[in-house]
Structure 1
Amino acid sequence: MLKKIAITLLLTAMVFSTNVGGQPLHKAQAAGATTTKVQTADQLYPIEVDGKYGFINGKGKIVIEAVYDEVGYSGVNGGTVYVEDHAAKKQYYFSSAGSKLFEYKLRDAGILYNDRALYMKQAQIAGGVKVTRYGYIDSQGKVAIQPVYTRAFNFSEGLASVNMGKASGYINKKGELVIPYRYSSTSDFSESMAAVMLAFGGKYGYIDTTGKLRVPPRYDYATPFSDGAAVVSENGKYGYIDKNGKYLIKPQFSMAQPFSEGLAFVERNGATFYINKKGVKVIQGFTAGGLFKGGLAPASPGQRYGYINTSGRFVIKPQLYWADAFNGELAVISLLVPNSREEIRGYMNRSGTIVWPPASELPGGVTKLP
């Protein structure tokens, strides 16, 4: 009997989030430790087997056995992961090689980013009222920054957005305030820039890692920088700016994805296509498209998904029910079981080989796509 493999990407009840332009930009994802089957420095990917979770590496080899209740991971090469044991009320942190780092009380801490993970603690304030405060632990599970913040977010590029009251500022990994509390909304830093809103209900602009306002607040919506450009919105249309706030492409799209490897998937007047940074239409004929990673992007001409190269040619033919952008060596994909509505999710490498789940669980046992 075929097993439905569900890839769980956001797996914790402990989510620290804020919004830029209504879109969440900060997220913390979500027992004795099991022995590992493979030693590797590869990026790890979560798997589910019979309702239990573990991790594989980029070759599809099991690194952490699927015997845990939930998992959390950063999704970056060499990044740490954790697994949850609900019976023991603990979570165990592992390196990308599968070596146990430390254990922690269940769901009291998040994922390690930049060697810091959010944790929370109950505190008592005036009148005996109990409140939740946030701090950070290090990669050994030791307290690195005391839990004094009313809100806190993951580190990115060495900085994290925190609140002591209503306003947000940024601290470094030592817990030192390097950008003062003055913002009503913030994003992670990406390419040394962060989107911020000064006053509630106001416009978005961008600061650099010193706190200098590099782009004045004039956008209704603003996203992190990617490939040297950021998607912004004015008057209901999306365009792209550079790090000086100069328009690379003026707002004209009803949908706009981030640039990746010089290309971006957009929609205008009901038509979808890829553009370059001059706004020139360079790839068309697809109803759906995703980010390019290592020269490949998921795309669909209609009913099924495959992967195209930067010339718009299918390298992996559209035979998949759904496909995500590559993350390292693997991409999340899904297939439909013949004569049913059941969806099987797994991972595929860049050559079109499905490395998870095993062939015995795939329709017809086919693991290689042309």
Structure 2
Amino acid sequence: MKKVLIFSLIVLGQSIFAQQLALVKEKAKIGYIDKSGNYVIEPAYETARSFSDGLAAVKIKDMWGFVGKDGKMAIEPSFTKARDFNDGLCAVERDGIWFYINKNGEKLNMPYSDKLYDFNNGLALIKVSNKIGAFDTGGKVVIPAEYDVIKPFQNGYARISQNGLWGIIDTAGKVIVPVEYNDIGEYKNGATWAQKGKAYGIIDGSTFSIAEGADKVWDFGNQPITYARRNGKIGFVDKAGKWVIEPKFDKARAFNQNLAPAYSGGKWGYIDMKGNFVVEPAYNDAEVFSNDNLAPVKGKNWGFIDTSGKLVIPMDYDISVSFGFNEKNKGFNDGVSRVKKSGKWGFIDKTGSLVGNKWFYNAELFQN
């Protein structure tokens, strides 16, 4: 019986700390709700940040500390400034000096850097004499400070620049795409776009294939084709740089769920993988389908359609975008969408129901 009780407590604890919470502001105080709309942490803070890596920075009087998802103070307020935890570490400031702490609030000895960067994908950038490298959570320099630019790591890869040219490295510092391109995109699922001289094309692995006539290419979404421009019109190219949908649209966005927003004749609709409209152009704006199989569309305001093109949530809202590294889509993320109506913020579920039946003065996206 004791073993069953202990196991139940462990599972309960894991579920508490795994759940996503959203920062909300009700009147003058900030608290945190779960996806049912219930307060997990009652509004008690005048200034606070969203949860990240299981902790949220909160300001009490003039000092910042961190609370856990149980609402208890995990790191006592003693910092004049604080960022977000990532990979178990966080940059904070005390007495005008920035340094890293762990989740016990302990100050860590890390390599010297002219500027402190947040950890991401297990690494933090290091800047020495205007050159950029990176070190891991143990303080080991894994990428020497020899690059002019290292963009934030995404999906285990980062764009790097030396002497005005661009390439791609992984988190071990291995060069995946040689530093020989004039511009380069985000490396995702083994592919990215790049510019070499005046030519634009696609890198698949490390092989560069020119997209004939393209003068701009955008980052890949979740599918193996991406949109590109030729002679002022937008079409789609595959990983070999081949035009699989000829440029004929005025505007377009990425494919997801085998559908992509496309703009023609002054209105937005959705095309299939052959470039045919399956949702006829009828909207003033339209965004990419989320993994929840819903896409935001705009008349006067925003609503949502399903993959059949049916309007399932009325066009009554403003919407927001997630700027996280792994989620860039507007609208729905993991079953809920942050929306604004009549000057207040809240969340709706996939049926269009208001989560918790409550609006807030402010609401941030759900975070771990």
TM-score by length of 1: 0.67
Contact 1:229 1:242 in 2 (8 A): yes
Alpha-carbon distance in 1 for matches of 2:188, 2:294:
22
CA offset digits 1:175-203 (Å, max 9, x no partner): 1223322112111112321111123xx23
Aligned to 2:116: 108
Aligned to 2:85: 93
Q: What is the aligned counterpart of 1:205 among 201, 207, 214?
A: 201
Higher CA-based Rg: 2
Question: What pairs with 1:265-344 in structure 2 (closer than 5 Å)?
Answer: 265-284=261-280, 285-293=282-290, 294-300=292-298, 302-322=299-319, 324-336=330-342, 343-344=343-344
Q: What code does the residue aligned with 1:219 have?
A: A
- How far is the alpha carbon of 1:312 from its aligned partner? 1.2
Alpha-carbon distance in 2 for matches of 1:250, 1:261:
20
Contact 1:103 1:141 in 2 (8 A): no
More strand per residue: 1 or 2? 2
Q: Give secondary structure in 2 for the equivalent of 1:40.
A: helix
Aligned to 1:353: 353
Is the aligned partner of 1:258 residue 2:245?
no
Q: What code does the residue aligned with 1:93 have?
A: F
Distance 1:272-1:116 versus aligned 2 partners, 3 A rule:
same
Contact 2:122 2:137 in 1 (8 A): yes
Contact 1:193 1:224 in 2 (8 A): no
Question: What pairs with 1:1-370 in structure 2 (closer than 5 Å)?
Answer: 39-43=16-20, 47=24, 58-60=35-37, 83=57, 85=64, 88-93=80-85, 101-105=88-92, 108-110=116-118, 112=120, 114-117=121-124, 119-123=125-129, 131=130, 133-138=131-136, 143-199=141-197, 202-209=198-205, 211-216=206-211, 218-226=213-221, 227-284=223-280, 285-293=282-290, 294-300=292-298, 302-322=299-319, 324-336=330-342, 343-355=343-355, 359=358, 361=360
- How far is the alpha carbon of 1:334 from its aligned partner? 1.2
Alpha-carbon distance in 1 for matches of 2:188, 2:86:
26
Q: Give secondary structure in 2 for the equivalent of 1:93.
A: coil
CA offset digits 1:226-279 (Å, max 9, x no partner): 222200001111011122222222111111011111111111132321111112
Alpha-carbon distance in 1 for matches of 2:39, 2:144:
36
Percent of aligned pairs with the same amino acid: 24
Alpha-carbon distance in 1 for matches of 2:132, 2:39:
34
Q: Which moved more, 1:167-176 or 1:316-325?
A: 316-325
Unaligned runs of 5+ in 1: 1-35, 74-78, 96-100, 124-130, 337-342, 363-370
TM-score by length of 2: 0.68
- How far is the alpha carbon of 1:46 from its aligned partner? 5.5
Q: What code does the residue aligned with 1:163 have?
A: S
- How far is the alpha carbon of 1:152 from its aligned partner? 0.5
Alpha-carbon distance in 1 for matches of 2:229, 2:153:
26
Alpha-carbon distance in 1 for matches of 2:192, 2:30:
34
Contact 1:206 1:217 in 2 (8 A): no
CA offset digits 1:6-37 (Å, max 9, x no partner): xxxxxxxxxxxxxxxxxxxxxxxxxxxxxx9x
Distance 1:258-1:146 versus aligned 2 partners, 3 A rule:
same
Alpha-carbon distance in 2 for matches of 1:51, 1:148:
47
Alpha-carbon distance in 1 for matches of 2:213, 2:51:
36
Q: Give secondary structure in 1 for the equivalent of 2:85.
A: strand
Contact 1:46 1:54 in 2 (8 A): yes
CA offset digits 1:254-306 (Å, max 9, x no partner): 11011111111111132321111112221133222222122111113x22322
Alpha-carbon distance in 2 for matches of 1:319, 1:46:
23
- How far is the alpha carbon of 1:116 from its aligned partner? 3.1
Instruction: State how many pairs are aligned.
Output: 296
Distance 1:361-1:249 versus aligned 2 partners, 3 A rule:
same
Distance 1:217-1:251 versus aligned 2 partners, 3 A rule:
closer
Alpha-carbon distance in 2 for matches of 1:288, 1:304:
10
Q: What code does the residue aligned with 1:282 have?
A: V
- How far is the alpha carbon of 1:62 from its aligned partner? 6.2
Q: What code does the residue aligned with 2:122 have?
A: D
Distance 1:103-1:280 versus aligned 2 partners, 3 A rule:
closer
Contact 2:156 2:170 in 1 (8 A): yes
Contact 2:90 2:118 in 1 (8 A): no
Q: Give secondary structure in 1 for the equivalent of 2:187.
A: coil
- How far is the alpha carbon of 1:69 from its aligned partner? 5.4
Alpha-carbon distance in 2 for matches of 1:164, 1:72:
35
Q: Give secondary structure in 2 for the equivalent of 1:188.
A: coil
Q: Which moved more, 1:238-247 or 1:51-60?
A: 51-60
